[in-house]
Amino acid sequence: MEVFLQYWLKLVMICLMVSVLVLKIAVLLWWRPKKIEQHFSRQGIKGPPYHFYTGNVKEAMAMMLKACSQPMPLCHNILPRVLAFYHHWNKIYGGMFLVWFGPTVQVTVSDPDMIREILSSKSELYEKKEGHHLIKRLEGDGLLSLNGEKWGHHRKTITPIFHMENLKLLVPMVVQSVSEMVEKWGRSRSGEIEIEVCEWFQRLTEDVIMRTVFGSWYEDDDGKAIFRLQAQQMVLAAQALRIVSLPAYRYLPTKRNISCWKMGWEIKRSLMKLIECRKIDTKGVMQENGAKDLVGLMMQPSSNITVDDMVEECKTFLFAGKHTTSNLLTWTTVLLAMHPQWQVQAREEVIRVCGSRAVLTKDDVVKLKTLTMILNESLRLYPPTIATIRHAKVDVKLRDYIVPRGTELMIPILALHHDQAIWGSNANEFYPPRFSEGVARAAKHPIGFIPFGLGVRTCIGQNLAILQAKLTLSIILQRFSFKLAPTYQHAPTISMLLYPQHGAPVIFKPLSHRDEPP
């Protein structure tokens, strides 16, 4: 009898535990999402209905896959292709609507005044969303993902690297790297050469960002190995974003997780080796050219940054520094190939400022006004980051709306940059003169242009990206005319960053006289 009672007691306990678990799952995956839907619906904010567990992921992915199944015409109205789900639901529900990524809701905010509140004037009420665990392994737990006091301390320590006076000291090194690249392009016996610029610009920016992070004391093979592993991690992370998984999934020894763990360990081992080599160097924080480097600054006793934190910051800067600049160079080259009249104007300016000098100086860069307008227009039409996400730290009032604590707010930067209400009827056209009076006066609203973010979390490396882009394009314009290859297919797409889905083949032809446009 006693054994029988113990058996039934255990059975009752198991049933109770299962019931509690089922109840918690029901609350998390059904009751809570429905309560959130009702909360926002009462305020006039709606969206596609929530589906159990998956939310709207299946619908969103279907729209994205359909949009990316075919190349698009040679135009710049890329929003319907790149953010197909946003474009579709925005037409139905307006500029502020709900989207469910599994049981997690995102409120899409496209009003520039609200965006200013979230990113700038009331940014203390919001913080950066913690990304997918595979993305975090890729980007590192550095400035991109940190919040609070630790983020502030790291940013203060690292900022001196990106002061313009320090960046100008990197000019000779960048010029040398670019010159070596274009020398290889000019060796074609046929007089023309087809280049996959996306790949070449990635290799170029890898060298520059490695020198910015580690100074002149790194082995090229170590850098290549790290970037190769990060590229593999990027593929895995992009695949993972297409499915809905429970939080515990990250700890399961799945094939994808095991691969990512191994790559993470290899990257950490390589970075630790480079950091140790940098420690041995006796030159302090200065490179041979007098410029500061990231690891050197973080090693200063006053920085109080651990070696593990150094590794995470290195991951962040190697990934973001490479892709931000290489994407900017790729899309600007494509734009100049598509619009030869602006290529001619940019070349004339470079020749007027620099003449036939093969070596540009830091003083040349600031005089390139036309090229600056072209780069800004490239960043407007093809921003490196097409959206950013914040979540509310507390219950907040956003204009007339009550946003509960923990709600994610998605700011579609690409949509903002293509909004005709902000940029006029030619918002989807390549028109650099809109920036002739500077960024502040380019749009009808001062928050209309935020390719590098806004407020205290503005991209710390934007000056390096712009400087490198100006130097690279100036040298290319001095030496080549170029056009899109017949095989080019215009297919901007998103895989964490905005990139050409089928590559960017461009035909370069050496100029017969560097001091004369073709």
Q: What is the pLDDT of residues 284-319, one digit of tens each?
A: 555 555 567 888 888 887 778 888 888 888 988 888
Q: Give CA–CA dist 110/223, Å, rounded.
A: 39
Domains located in the chain, CATH noted? 109-510 (1.10.630.10)
Q: What is the pLDDT of residues 9-45, one digit of tens each?
A: 777 788 888 888 888 888 788 999 999 999 999 999 9
- Alpha-carbon distance of 329 to 431, in angstroms, equals 18
Return the higher-pLDDT residue of 228 and 487: 487
Lowest-confidence pick of 43-57, 253-267, 272-286: 272-286
Least confident window among 329-333, 398-402, 510-514: 510-514
Residue carrying the six token digits 């036309």: 370
Tell me how crowded residue 247 is: count the other CB atoms within 10 A of its CB. 7
**Which range among 58-62, 224-228, 509-513, 514-518 shows the weakest confidence by mean pLDDT?**
514-518
Note if the pTM is more than 0.85: yes
Q: Which of 183-197, 240-254, 498-512 has the highest mean pLDDT?
A: 498-512
Torsion angle, alpha carbons of 457, 458, 460, 462, to 10: 160
> At CA 244, angle to CA 233 and CA 143, rounded to 5?
45
pLDDT-derived band at 196 (thresholds 50, 70, 90) equals very high
What percentage of the chain has pLDDT greater than the value 90?
Answer: 54
Average pLDDT over residues 182-198: 87
pLDDT computed for residue 505 by the predictor: 98
Predicted local distance difference test score (pLDDT) of residue 402? 97
Q: Provide the 3-class DSSP secondary structure of residue 107.
A: strand
> Quick count: other Cβ atoms within 10 Å of Cβ 297?
18
Q: What 3-state class would DSSP assign to 194?
A: strand
Distance (Å, rounded) from C-alpha 439 to C-alpha 417?
A: 12
Q: Is 75 annotated as a binding residue?
A: no
Judge residue 4's burial from the number of C-beta atoms within 10 Å of its C-beta, 0-12 exposed, 13-18 middle, 19 or more buried.
exposed
pLDDT at position 99 is: 97
Res 482 pLDDT > 90: yes
Instruction: Give the 3-state secondary structure of 370-421.
Output: HHHHHHHHHHHHCCCCCCEEEEECCCEEECCEEECCCCEEEECHHHHHCCHH
Mean pLDDT score, 228-253: 72
